[in-house]
Structure 1
């Protein structure tokens, strides 16, 4: 019994340390707002969007001109170093690359597509983290509810056990009844310890998501599950996903990017030209000569065929990837929807079966057991059955929320 008391003391001490922190109650909307303004993962991902947008600016910039200066270093005829005056020699040239074939336009289009992909990836990250946030927020509420129930029952059992131990010492009741109560206490305490560990992990995940050190619990005013019971068809969910899911839209944009890259490689086969103007003081055919000209590579050996061929295969790869992703999403939605329908059925049945009669019966059983109107076997049996019902109700409710939120995640839109 001393070990049991020590175990309970350690658990309660951990609870006191945890609840010594500030506790904040958040609605789903408030949690979303706090999450989007404080989550460092989102802030980091938003920087990638800005980086890709900066590449659009860079793609619009024209190549810099090249200025060349050629001056005399040593004149052996006149024995002069840096002979660059009126009788010396110097040459200045200004050169500009002219891009042909729409290459610059292709670079701008590619940069814009990459920026769009970064935004879609950001949206997908937001949805994935929101799924975790909503699921964890409801889970922590159910865990907190069950912990309070367990704490209440443990307090009752502790009081009852002390009374029975005293009566057993006096010989008024058999020792086996005390042992049965101890067993029930230990089992419930173990269940609570396991649940408390899960609670701590969920609380940690929420604090990381919201960048908070406070204890986070859901707003009880938003505990109604009716919002997750909106009728919807699997075909409508599939259509919504194919139109809105950021993960799929990224694949579609990758296909667009592959098309743009293929077009860019074809344009790279078109030679660019260099135009230049030069001033030559004395080394040309005439003194103070001003020249102008162009240079252009001849596409004899390199016509960029390898890169064009590679781009064609990359486009085919993007097309196949898109088809595979669409099939994957439809399959995941079908399975998730079937799971959701099952959880809705379980929830609706559980709400029909579980009502205030359970709590009234619990109070009645406890009272009658204390009055010795209920045997120890009946009491323990009902006690364990009642806790099994509580655990099952928590599982069903949590499962309903997570399955509905999973469909929201898979469609890219808040259906529930």
Structure 2
């Protein structure tokens, strides 16, 4: 069951579709729930487990017996072709391969480990895609908030520019003032267009992750009050480090070692001779009619003792040991980097004054009124607009960095 390290999910659950505009409203928790059932990559990856189970069934099966028939074409004693009577010659043989040295059981054991690896691989895909989903979900939420800042400024400046065009035509406003407002508006529109392109990309990525239709738009719902509940002191680094052993990529690496060791045992068993049990019936071609016999065939391992495959399997053990150690080091480095990143993001968040955004909303209204009444100059007006935009975007970015750092940490520890 999904249990995040830090509580950063919403306090409410909403999963609705607005029919009028095909907008899908999801909280982060609901997005994760939909993802686990609708993501096509996960559905495809899950089949690997069933395929591995089928390989176990196949490994348990015995080889089919081989039956050979032989019929004499021409009987010189009576001049008959294909004589199937008592005087005609016919031979029937049946042969069954017998496994020795535990070859069948060792093959089954290897396939069971392969199934275990397929399950770990599925969990790893789930972990990484879930982390990608959360990161893009948070990114989409704050990108939309950033766009709303531009929308507010562009809306007012567009109205103001129309007024200035009329007044400029009447000679009441200088061409310089009108041109500066036009330049500011154009700059804001270009920046907003760049953000809109980012939104298009994020929407497309999230549609794929959530299995949404191409006509549907995701509206992320988020309660930013969760930022106040993040406390790293309650979750020390040592405790997080202890959780790394259950990460699916680490388990996958360890299972890879066991699989290669099982393959060594299987390849050694395949070096033993192949044994086949035979039964034969000869109707008229032996020292007596209706001849019955049993036999045993054994391959003699003189030249091929499976040396190459045994050596390859042994080298695979060494290779997988190195890979497992590399995974362990990478996981440790990821945890250290994410934990440090979250500490710094929290420090910046707690040192920032979020009253600025609310104050700026009041200030910008006063700026608009003051500029219309000519109480502030054009340069001051433009400066206030730039400062308002930059402050809001920086505050949104700080919040986004904290939440994404939390989710990165959740992903690293495998939650």
Report the TM-score, using the length of structure 2 for normalisation: 0.89
**Correspondence for 2:243 among 240, 244, 249:** 240
For residues 351 and 23 of structure 1, the distance between their equivalents in structure 2, rounded to whole angstroms, comes to 34
Larger deviation, residues 131-140 vs 254-263: 131-140
Residues in 1 aligned to 2:390 and 2:337: alpha-carbon distance in whole angstroms: 28
Cα distance in structure 1, aligned partners of 2:130 and 2:229: 17
Inter-partner Cα distance in structure 2 for 1:111 and 1:354: 61
- Distance in 2 (CA, whole Å) between partners of 1:302 and 1:136 is 56
Report the number of matched residues: 394
User: What secondary structure does 1:224 align onto?
Assistant: helix
Deviation at 1:29, TM superposition (A): 2.3
Q: What does residue 79 of structure 2 align with?
A: 79
Larger deviation, residues 67-76 vs 158-167:
158-167
Offset of 1:161 from its aligned partner? 2.0
**1:2-401 mapped onto 2 (5 Å cutoff):** 21-212=21-212, 213=214, 214-221=216-223, 224-226=226-228, 229-231=231-233, 232-241=235-244, 243-352=245-354, 354=356, 356-401=358-403
Query: 2 CA distance for matches of 1:205 and 1:351?
Result: 33
Shift of 1:261: 0.5
Q: Is the 8 A contact 1:229 1:344 kept in 2?
A: no
Q: Distance in 2 between matches of 1:223 and 1:124?
A: 31
Asked if 1:408 is matched to 2:410, the reply is: yes
1:137–1:217 contact (8 Å) kept in structure 2:
no
Give the C-alpha shift of residue 106 in structure 1.
1.1
Q: How far apart in 2 are the matches of 1:323 and 1:312?
A: 17
SS in 1 for 2:352: helix
Query: Matches of 1:72 and 1:193 in 2, distance apart?
Result: 87
Distance, in Å, in 2 between the alignment partners of 1:391 and 1:205 is 23
Between the aligned partners of 2:253 and 2:263, the Cα distance in structure 1 is: 15
Distance 1:387-1:222 versus aligned 2 partners, 3 A rule: closer
- Supply the distance in 2 between the matched residues of 1:28 and 1:83 (Cα, whole angstroms): 81
Structure 1 Cα separation of the partners of residues 197 and 346 of structure 2: 28
The CA RMSD measured in Å over matched residues stands at: 2.1
Task: Answer whether contact 1:72 1:89 (CA < 8 A) is retained.
Answer: yes
For residues 223 and 136 of structure 1, what CA distance do their matches in structure 2 show?
Answer: 19
Deviations 1:258-288 (A, max 9, x none): 1011111111112231112222222223222
Do the aligned partners of residues 228 and 58 (structure 1) sit closer, same or farther apart at CA in structure 2, a change above 3 Å counting?
Answer: farther
CA distance in 2, matches of 1:227, 1:100: 63
Q: Deviations over 1:186-217 (max 9, x none)?
A: 22111111111111111111112222231101
Match of 1:9 in 2: none
Residues in 1 aligned to 2:222 and 2:321: alpha-carbon distance in whole angstroms: 48
Gapped regions of structure 1 (runs ≥ 5): 1-18
Query: Is the Cα–Cα contact under 8 Å of residues 71 and 89 in structure 1 kept in the other structure?
Result: yes
| Cα offsets for 1:337-360 (capped at 9, x unmatched) | 222221122222235553522222
Unaligned segments of structure 2, at least 5 residues: 1-18
CA shift, 1:169, in A, is: 3.8
Quote the Cα distance in structure 2 between the aligned partners of 1:362 and 1:45.
Answer: 52
* 1:86-109 superposed Cα distances (whole Å, 9 cap, x missing partner): 222222222211101111111111
2:226 alignment partner, SS class = coil
> Do 1:228 and 1:401's aligned partners in 2 also have CA atoms closer than 8 Å?
no
Rounded Cα–Cα distance in structure 1 between residues aligned with 2:231 and 2:219: 23
For 2:89 and 2:24, the matched residues in 1 are separated by 81
Secondary structure in structure 2 of the residue aligned to 1:354: helix
CA contact (8 A) 1:228 1:400 kept: no
Q: What SS does the corresponding residue of 2:96 show, helix, strand or coil?
A: strand
Query: Would the aligned equivalents of 1:27 and 1:222 in 2 still touch at CA under 8 Å?
Result: no
Kept in 1: contact 2:25–2:218 (CA 8 A): yes
* C-alpha spacing 1:396/1:221, structure 2 compared with 1 (3 Å): closer
SS for the counterpart of 1:63 is coil
CA contact (8 A) 2:53 2:115 kept: yes
Contact 2:354/2:395, CA 8 A, preserved across alignment: no
Query: What is the TM-score normalised by the length of structure 1?
Result: 0.89
